[in-house]
Every structure is written in structure tokens, then in C-alpha cells.
Amino acid sequence: MSSASPFVSIRRDLHKIPELGFREFKTQAYLLNYIHNLPQERIEIETWKTGIFVKVNGINPIKTIGYRTDIDGLPITEETELPFVSEHEDRMHACGHDFHMSIALGVLTHFVENPIDDDLLFIFQPAEEGPGGAEPMMKTDTMKKWKPDMIIALHIAPEYPVGTIALKEGLLFANTSELFIDLKGKGGHAAYPHLTNDMVVAACQLVSQLQTIVSRNIDPLDSAVITIGKITGGTVQNIIAERARLEGTIRTLSVESMQKVKKRIEELVAGLETGYQCEAKIDYGSMYHQVYNQEVLTREFMEFVRKETDVHVQECKEAMTGEDFGYMLSEIPGFMFWLGVDSPFGLHHAKLNPNEEAIHTAIDLLVKYIEFKGKR
């Protein structure tokens, strides 16, 4: 696909204006402007916060096929030096949602101009990166009114070449939860530590203790991850810290393990309160349901791609990646797949630069599959 392609150009436009969850005002306006300029005879449009629902009415519908894209960016300073670099300071589409949106618009455009028998519902979902838009979007009156019978989504994958997709039946992405722990002790002069309760020391001890949960409390045949990615504490080098904060994430391949991890965290934090004579507060922030690909639909899709397209299908392993599309799959049969974009830099990296040829690959593939599912 050349840079002259409208959907490559759209991707570049969207790449310039990344916005955080539920603040995607420019993004929503851009998307709505494009959608309103499509032929309107068969489409219905409704908005929810910064999200958008677009229903394409079929010729003779008996079911609704859903397609979901996420629209938010990340709080990352871009380092790509592209001519269409982010214009928003400390914001970047470093997870490919600019790709996801341009692909969705490409598929939407095709079916507005070439309707099929069945109805289609395109969901432009905000806040995938946080605090999570899928779960509340599922509860809207619009979703209840237009709820699809099946639903599809994709996610770019820098590690796979263009022309390859990857997926599997069953569990694809993990259960995830944010983790925030605030500690409050007693600060004081660095020369008089015996008169204080040092929360930097407490925080360091807690980080070490948290790492024992996976190694000693989770079945080694199961999988879990606890990562503390940020610690803050204290004010200056010669004052013992009265407060400290740990920020991290939990990932598990089963709901049961997530419950066990959280129970153990609470026990360790309670012990820390006693041992360090401090106060502690745990906040699990946003939680994402596992992405579980419905077996029959996933198998059918993989067979279709192998027989009817030139795209290479690779069966992959489950990943500890989090995706709130899992909330939609918990109520609607469907699947998500990885789209190869061949970038040396991974997701959430400041230099992520996916190959734009993948946009055409995805649009063509999805159009063919949706036509197969929606025509009789």
C-alpha cells in the first residue's frame, strides 16, 4: 500500500494526535468527520463519551457482526523522528491504535459502499490503555440495542512480518490488574533514624517479598507475573521518608491465580504494617478480563484465511499481554488476532514504527472474511 492510500494517510493523521483514555476529543472528532462524509443511507451513528458506535444496516439481516477498534494513545514521548511525529507533548500512539483505527475505517468504508446481507457494528472504543473502556461500553443502551452475535478485533504485533497473522483457540491474553500500594510511616531527620519509620526501607522490603508470591505461592505449571515498575518516596536526601508508593501490574493465566495473588499481596502488606508500624493502602486500579478466543469461530477463521487468502496463519502461544477486549469476548463469541507489522521496536516503545503495508493486508483480509460470514 503506497503512502498515497487514504488509509495510510488517515493513520498518519491519527498518529499526530494521540490522546489518553476518555480524553480522545480530537480523535473522536476526526473519526466522526470521516464517518459523516461516507454515504449515510445505511448507517446509524451513536456516541458514548469519546467512543463511537457505527451500525451498517444489511440488505437482509439475520445477525450482526461486530468489529472493535481501540482509539487511545499512551503517555510516552515519541522518538521516531517520523515526518508525522506526535504533535502532543509526552503522548504517542506506541501501541498501534492509529493502525487499528485506520484499518477499521477501511473496512467500514468498504461495507458502507458494498453492503452485505447481515448488519455490521463498528465499535470505536476509548481508554483501552486505561482506565478501561470496554467494560462500561458493554453496559450502554446502544450496545444492548445493537449487540452483535459475534465480534472480531486485532492487535498489531511488531515481532511478526507483514503478511502474517497469529492467534490460537482459547486463552490468548492474560487476566491483568494494576497495582498501587501507598505506605505511610513517620519521617524525620536522617541523623535520628530511631525516631522514624522509614518507608523507603519498607518499600524495598515489600518489593522483595512480592517477588516470592509467584515463585512460592503459584503452581509452577500455571503462570503469573508481578512487576513493580515504579517506586516513589521521600523528598530530599537527608530526610527519612514518611511516605512511599509502589506502582505495578499483575498478570495471570487464570482467574483463580489472580485471586490467589491478590490475597497473598494483602497478607504481605498486612504483615508489613505490623513490622514497620506503618499504614498501607492497596488499590488494584483497572482490571482487564482475559482474552479468550471462542474455539469454533477461531478455528473457522484460521481455516478460511489459509484457504482463501495469501496471508500466512501462525498458531501462537498465549501472552501475558492485557487487553480489555476480553470484556466483550466474555459476553459475545469472537476472537482477536495478532497482525504482523515487522517493527524492530516493540509495543509501548518510543521508537515503535510499524510497516504501513500491514494496513492493506488487514483491510483486505477482514473484508473477505466478513463477506464470507455475512452473505448467504
pLDDT in tens, 88-135: 999 999 999 999 999 999 999 999 999 999 999 999 999 999 999 999
Supply the DSSP symbol for 57. -
Q: What is the pLDDT of residue 286?
A: 86
pLDDT digits (tens, 9 = 90+) for 342-375: 999 999 999 999 999 999 999 999 999 999 999 7
Query: Half-sphere exposure of 338 toward its Cβ, with a 13 Å CA cutoff?
Result: 26
- C-beta of residue 311 within 8 angstroms of C-beta of residue 130: no
Q: How confident is the model at residue 65 (pLDDT cuts 50, 70, 90)?
A: very high
Enumerate the active-site residues.
70, 129
What is the rounded average pLDDT for all residues in the chain? 96
Per-residue model confidence (pLDDT) at position 5: 86
pTM above threshold 0.85: yes
d(CA 363, CA 69): 13
Eight-class DSSP state of 343: -
pLDDT more than 90, % of the chain: 97
Phi, psi of 178 (to 5 degrees): -70, 165
Residue 376: which pLDDT band, with cuts at 50, 70 and 90? Answer: low
pLDDT score recorded for residue 132: 93
Q: How confident is the model at residue 3 (pLDDT cuts 50, 70, 90)?
A: low
Domains and CATH numbers, the chain: 6-172+290-374 (3.40.630.10), 175-287 (3.30.70.360)
pLDDT at 2 over 60: no
Percent of the chain with pLDDT strictly greater than 70: 99
Q: φ, ψ for residue 204 (rounded to 5)? A: -65, -40
